[in-house]
C-alpha cells in the first residue's frame, strides 16, 4: 500500500514536471504535441489565462544600443528578444540615446520622476527596466535606488559589447532584466543591476574592469541573486533604507546641489578643495587613503570648506571597507560615508543636501542609506 502511494506520488510528480518543462525551458522548448480535444460536455469551464506581467522600458543609450551606423531604438531593443511577448508585456519609451556620461543630473531627476509617476498611475505595472551605458551605470542605479519610492523593482541593464560585435550580450542581458523586473520576488529589493546573469544591488555594485564582460561586481558582499535560464534565484536582501522607505522626494527637488569628489594621493594640495568650494560646491567627498586619511595640505582645504558650512564626507579610495567615526557632534559639517564608494557617497550627499541644510539631518542620512 505504502509502495503504491509512493509510486502514485512519484507518478504525479513526473506529470507535474512534464507539464512544467516547456514553461521552464522558455523559448527553447519544443511546441507541445497536439492533443485530442476533450468532448465539450467534459471540458472544464474555460478560465482565461492571466496575461504576462507588464514591464516598462526606459531606454537611455550606451553600448547596449550603440550599433555601427546608428543606435538601436527602444522598439528595436524590445524586438531583439525572441518571444518576449509570451512572457512579458513590454512597453517602452526612448528617454535618451547617448552614452551614460552624457546624461545630466537634471535628466536623472526627470527619469526618476517619470518612473515614480508610472508606478503611481499604473497598478498593473510589475516593474521598470532602464538601459544605460555601463561607464556610470552604477551612479544612475544608486540614484534611482534612493529616489524611486515604490516596492516594485527598477532594473538597470547595459552591455559591454555593442550590437555590431560578435558575441553581443545586450539582448541576453536585456531579457534577464525583463525577467527580473517581472518576477514578484524582486519586489522590495530596490534598484537592481543585471548583467552577465547576475543581480547586484545598486548600492554595492561597481564597474571593476574597463572591458571584460564580468565587470560588475559587489566585491565581498556578492550578488543578491542570479538570473539563470530556468528561473530567478535570490540569496539575500539589502537591509539599508531605499526606494519605498526613502525620504528623498524628487517631485520636491528642482536641481541637485554641486558635490565634488576629491582624491587623496601623496602630497595632495588642499587648494583643490578650496577651488571646489569657491566654485559653488555645497559638499565635498574625499576619496581618502586607507581608512579615510588625507595627505599634503588637504586638511587645510577641509577646514576652509567646513568653515563655510560646506559638508565634507570621508570615504576610502581602497575599493572596499568602512571609514569609521562620524560622531564629531550634531553641528559638525564633517562626517563619514561608511562603506559607500566615493561616487555613491556623492549621490547620497547631493540628495541629503537637497533635502535639508541641517548638519544633524545630513549626518543621519549618511548613516541610514
Ligand atoms: N561609453 C559607454 C557608456 O557608458 C560604455 C558602455 O555602455 O559600456 O555609455
How many angstroms separate the alpha carbon of residue 40 from the centre of ligand 1? 57
Closest residue by Cα to atom 7, ligand 1, is 133
Structure confidence at residue 328 (pLDDT)? 77
Percentage of the chain lying above the pLDDT 90 cut: 85
| CATH 3.40.50.1170, the chain: domain bounds | 54-245
Is the CB of residue 100 less than 8 Å from the CB of residue 61?
Answer: yes
pLDDT of residue 20 exceeding 50, the answer is no
Angle between helices 342-355 and 137-147 (to 10 degrees): 40
Closest residue by Cα to atom 8, ligand 1, is 134
Say how far apart CA 111 and CA 114 lie, in whole Å: 5
Say how far apart CA 253 and CA 73 lie, in whole Å: 30
Among 59, 99, 130, name the best residue to mutate to test ligand 1's pocket (greatest count of ligand atoms within 8 A of Cβ). Answer: 99
Is the CB of residue 59 less than 8 Å from the CB of residue 77?
Answer: yes
pLDDT of residue 13 exceeding 90, the answer is no
Which secondary structure element, helix H or strand E, spans residue 97, and what is its range? strand 89-98
What are 212-265's pLDDT values in tens digits? Answer: 999 999 999 999 999 999 999 999 999 999 999 999 999 999 999 999 999 999
How many angstroms separate the alpha carbon of residue 100 from the centre of ligand 1? 6
Least confident of 28-42, 106-120, 248-262, 322-336: 28-42
Instruction: Read off the C-alpha cell for 211.
Output: 572591458
Percentage of the chain lying above the pLDDT 70 cut: 88
Structure confidence at residue 43 (pLDDT)? 61
Is the CB of residue 323 less than 8 Å from the CB of residue 353?
Answer: no
| CATH 3.40.50.40, the chain: domain bounds | 259-368
Four-point Cα dihedral 220, 180, 79, 72, nearest 10: -40
Least confident of 3-17, 194-208, 300-314: 3-17
How many angstroms separate the alpha carbon of residue 162 from the centre of ligand 1? 9
Ligand 1 atom with least separation from CA of 61: 9
When pLDDT is cut at 50, 70 and 90, the band that residue 8 belongs to is very low
* Active site annotation includes 63: yes
Assign 131 to helix, strand or coil. Answer: strand
pLDDT of residue 105 exceeding 60, the answer is yes
Structure confidence at residue 133 (pLDDT)? 98
CATH of domain 259-368: 3.40.50.40
What are 297-328's pLDDT values in tens digits? Answer: 999 999 999 999 999 999 999 999 999 997 67
Structure confidence at residue 207 (pLDDT)? 98
In the block, which residue shows the cell 548600492?
203
Could you count the other beta carbons within 10 Å of the beta carbon of residue 338?
Answer: 22
Q: Which CATH architecture has domain 54-245?
A: 3-Layer(aba) Sandwich (3.40)
**Cβ neighbours of residue 352 under 8 Å, at least 6 residues apart?**
361, 362, 365, 366
pLDDT of residue 1 exceeding 80, the answer is no
* DSSP for 255-320, written as a single string: SPPPEEEEE--TT--THHHHHHHHTT-SEEEEEEBTTTB--TTHHHHHHHHHHTT-EEEEEETTSS
pLDDT of residue 115 exceeding 90, the answer is yes
Mean pLDDT for the chain overall = 91
Catalytic position from the list 35, 36, 63, 264: 63
pLDDT of residue 100 exceeding 50, the answer is yes
Return the exposure string of 264-287: e unless at least 16 CB atoms fall within 10 Å of the residue's CB, then b: beeebbbebbbebbeeebbbbbbb
pLDDT of residue 10 exceeding 50, the answer is no
Residues with CB under 6 A from ligand 1: 62-63, 99-100, 133-135, 158, 160
pLDDT of residue 344 exceeding 60, the answer is yes
Ligand 1 atom with least separation from CA of 102: 9
Region 261-275 average pLDDT: 98
Structure confidence at residue 326 (pLDDT)? 77
Ligand 1 atom with least separation from CA of 66: 7
pLDDT of residue 266 exceeding 60, the answer is yes
Region 62-84 average pLDDT: 97
Structure confidence at residue 49 (pLDDT)? 85
What are 84-96's pLDDT values in tens digits? Answer: 999 999 999 999 9
Say how far apart CA 337 and CA 325 lie, in whole Å: 9
What are 143-170's pLDDT values in tens digits? Answer: 999 999 999 999 999 999 999 999 999 9
Ligand 1 atom with least separation from CA of 100: 9
When pLDDT is cut at 50, 70 and 90, the band that residue 44 belongs to is low
Structure confidence at residue 39 (pLDDT)? 46
What are 121-150's pLDDT values in tens digits? Answer: 999 999 999 999 999 999 999 999 999 999
Which residues on neighbouring strands pair with residue 60, listed in sequence order?
Answer: none
Amino acid at each position: 500500500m505504502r509502495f503504491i502511494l509512493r509510486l502514485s506520488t512519484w507518478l504525479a510528480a513526473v506529470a507535474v514536471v512534464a507539464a512544467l518543462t516547456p514553461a521552464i525551458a522558455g523559448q527553447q522548448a519544443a511546441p507541445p504535441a497536439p492533443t485530442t480535444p476533450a468532448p465539450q460536455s467534459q471540458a472544464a469551464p474555460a478560465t482565461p489565462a492571466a496575461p504576462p506581467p507588464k514591464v516598462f522600458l526606459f531606454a537611455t543609450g550606451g553600448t547596449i544600443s550603440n550599433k555601427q551606423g546608428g543606435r538601436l531604438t527602444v522598439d528595436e531593443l524590445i524586438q531583439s528578444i525572441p518571444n518576449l511577448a509570451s512572457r512579458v508585456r513590454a512597453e517602452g519609451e526612448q528617454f535618451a540615446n547617448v552614452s551614460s556620461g552624457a546624461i545630466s543630473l537634471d535628466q536623472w531627476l526627470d527619469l526618476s520622476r517619470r518612473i515614480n509617476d508610472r508606478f503611481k498611475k499604473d497598478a498593473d505595472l510589475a516593474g521598470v527596466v532602464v538601459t544605460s551605458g555601463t561607464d556610470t551605470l552604477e551612479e544612475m542605479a544608486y540614484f534611482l535606488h534612493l529616489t524611486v519610492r515604490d516596492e516594485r523593482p527598477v532594473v538597470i541593464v547595459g552591455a559591454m559589447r555593442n550590437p555590431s560585435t560578435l558575441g553581443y550580450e545586450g539582448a541576453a542581458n536585456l531579457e534577464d532584466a525583463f525577467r527580473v523586473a517581472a518576477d514578484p520576488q524582486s519586489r522590495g529589493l530596490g534598484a537592481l543591476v543585471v548583467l552577465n546573469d547576475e543581480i547586484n544591488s545598486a548600492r554595492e555594485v561597481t564597474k571593476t574592469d574597463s572591458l571584460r564582460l564580468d565587470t560588475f561586481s559587489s566585491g565581498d558582499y556578492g550578488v543578491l541573486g542570479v538570473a539563470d535560464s530556468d528561473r530567478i534565484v535570490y540569496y539575500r536582501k539589502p537591509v539599508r533604507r531605499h526606494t519605498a522607505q526613502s525620504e528623498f522626494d524628487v517631485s520636491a527637488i528642482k536641481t541637485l546641489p554641486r558635490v565634488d569628489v576629491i582624491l587623496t594621493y601623496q602630497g595632495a594640495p588642499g587648494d583643490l578643495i578650496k577651488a571646489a568650494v569657491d566654485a559653488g560646491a555645497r559638499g565635498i567627498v574625499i576619496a581618502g587613503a586607507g581608512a579615510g586619511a588625507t595627505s599634503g595640505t588637504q586638511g587645510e582645504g577641509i577646514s576652509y570648506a567646513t568653515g563655510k558650512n560646506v559638508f565634507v564626507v570621508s570615504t576610502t579610495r581602497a575599493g572596499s571597507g568602512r571609514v569609521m567615526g562620524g560622531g564629531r557632534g550634531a553641528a559638525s559639517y564633517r562626517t563619514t560615508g561608511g562603506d559607500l564608494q566615493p561616487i555613491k557617497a556623492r549621490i547620497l550627499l547631493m540628495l541629503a543636501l537637497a533635502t535639508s541644510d541641517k548638519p544633524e539631518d545630513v549626518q543621519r542620512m549618511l548613516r541610514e542609506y
